[in-house]
Amino acid sequence: MSKLVAPHGSAELKPLLLDESAGQEELKRAQGLKKVPMASRETGDLIMMGIGAFTPLDGFMGQADWQGCCDTFSMPSRKNLFWPIPITLSASTETAGSIAPGEEVALWDLETEAIMGTMKVMEKYGIDKEHECKQVFKTIDPAHPGVQKVMEQGPVNLAGPVKVISESYYPSMFAGIYQRPADSRRVFEERGWNTVAALQLRNPMHGSHAYLAWIAIEVCDGVYVHQLVGKLKPGDIPAEVRVKAIDVLVSKYFRKDRVVQGGYPMEMRYAGPREALLHALFRQNYGCSHLIVGRDHAGVGDYYGPFDAQKIFNEIPADALLLRPLCMDWTFYCYECGSMASMKTCPHQSKAVIDEDGNYKGGARLLLSGTLLRKLMSEGKPVPAEFSRPEVIAVLKEYYDSLEQKVEVKLHGHATGAAEK
């Protein structure tokens, strides 16, 4: 019997992806069904259901579960099982109006123009989009990328069980990185791991990320470097570049028997604390016992406090998740200590001063962030050697040098230390 943590709300994984033979038959049948277009976020969520990462969901949520997720972190349809963010599919009034109750439809990805699955539409309902945004994102500011996505949704949500036909381009484009939960669990079990800490990554791995992973390895059997390969907001580094940058660091600076790399297809929502809970939930499905939660986990801008994503784990019922957070303080490179350190360990208070040529001019703490790294690289400015390994910087420099048009990267308080606690 496996010693890994059980999947969320289930004794076993519940993947909804059809095998190759059944998938081909379903695809043929889907050609004659009405098409419901899906945005990239919805397609990512469908694939997550397909591979079992969203166990035990069997489809897109109905109104009661939408309301429950927004207001009480729970799904009434599943005896109030814990779930922190609604997983929904929207449609235009015209599309929704053409679908009869109980009718099956083809789920069609707008980006790839491919049929990804089918759904039996059991419910059609409208939602209060501002209410969802206030509950999930704690803001209705249209500048927030997650809020923008919700407000752009169609006016009607469609709910019902799904059959997943395709994982899109992820298995081929990210071969060797992209994993289903069954894959990671198999690797963990082969290594005899019982405790596994997941490191969530949406940026290339800088020094603070590596430091957090090394700490986790000291207290767990191994670390799962789990990177998002779905879409991000404009200005973020493309997935294929991030994968390459992370791989060069992990391959050279980690013990191979203590680290596993993986990728997952979900799109970022930038929901801060709520998204940290969702990250924890599906990492439990991947077989992880812990999730590393550092500064501003899954945040964007200054919408959330730097450690709100840690605090929220103390606000949910103790039995909501089997996975537990590994809460880490703000980490940085300290010139006085001569090493990476954290707010809990380092006694030196002054901030490091780096000139425009990347030269150290004094002070102790060099605060590291993915946002600051992207800004320096996008503007062609030198990156201090203490920020990340030279192999990582080389990969990123090649990418930024290839860009014909630079995207402006704005710094926020958590990236610069202005919001330091």
* Tens-place pLDDT, residues 24-33: 999 999 999 9
157 is catalytic: no
Main-chain phi, psi angles of 306, to 5 degrees: -60, -25
Whole-prediction pTM value?
A: 0.93
Average pLDDT value over all residues in the chain: 93
**Is it the case that residue 114 has pLDDT exceeding 70?**
yes
- Length of the chain counted residue by residue: 421
Looking at per-residue confidence, does 203 or 21 come out higher? 21
Lowest-confidence pick of 36-50, 58-72, 74-88, 394-408: 394-408
Examine the pLDDT at 382 and tell me if it is beyond 90: no
| Residues in Cβ contact with 81 at an 8 Å cutoff, skipping those fewer than 6 apart | 8, 9, 56, 74, 75
User: Nearest CA to 86 among 26, 150, 36?
Assistant: 150
φ/ψ of 372, rounded to 5, equals -65, -40
Q: Is the confidence at residue 380, as pLDDT, over 90?
A: no
**Tens-place pLDDT, residues 315-356:** 999 999 999 999 999 999 999 999 999 999 999 999 999 887
Cα separation, 245 vs 393, in Å, equals 8
pLDDT of residue 406: 65
Residues 6+ apart with CB under 8 A from 142: 148, 151
The Cα–Cα gap between 365 and 350 comes to 6
In the block, tokens 């990236």 appear at 415
Pairing of strands 196-201, 222-228: parallel
Question: Which 3 state secondary structure label does DSSP give 338?
Answer: coil
CA distance 5 to 324: 11
Instruction: Write down the pLDDT at residue 421.
Output: 41
pLDDT, residue 407, reads 60
Q: What percent of the chain has pLDDT over 70?
A: 96
Cα dihedral value 236, 238, 239, 244, nearest 10: -110
Tokens of 352: 């490091």
Phi–psi pair at 325, nearest 5 degrees:
-80, 145
Q: Return d(Cα 59, Cα 77) in angstroms, integer.
A: 12
**Percent of the chain topping pLDDT 90:** 82
Q: Flag whether pLDDT at 242 surpasses 60.
A: yes
Omega within 30 of 0 (cis) for the link into 84: no
Annotation marks residue 258 as catalytic: no
Average confidence (pLDDT) over 374-397:
87
pLDDT tens per residue, range 204-230: 888 899 999 999 999 999 999 999 998
Name the least confident of 43-57, 74-88, 234-248. 234-248
Domains, the chain, with CATH or none = 20-167 (3.10.400.10), 169-264+270-421 (3.40.50.620)
> Catalytic pick from 41, 180, 185, 203?
203
Q: Where are the beta strands (DSSP E) in 251-369?
A: 259-264, 290-293, 324-327, 331-334, 339-342, 353-354, 360-362, 365-367
Q: Which of 180, 185, 202, 274 is catalytic?
A: 202
Strand stretches in 351-390, DSSP E: 353-354, 360-362, 365-367
pLDDT of residue 415: 46
Mean pLDDT of 249-272: 96
Q: SS3 helix, strand, coil % of the chain, rounded to 5?
A: 35, 20, 45
Name the residue with higher pLDDT: 382 or 35: 35
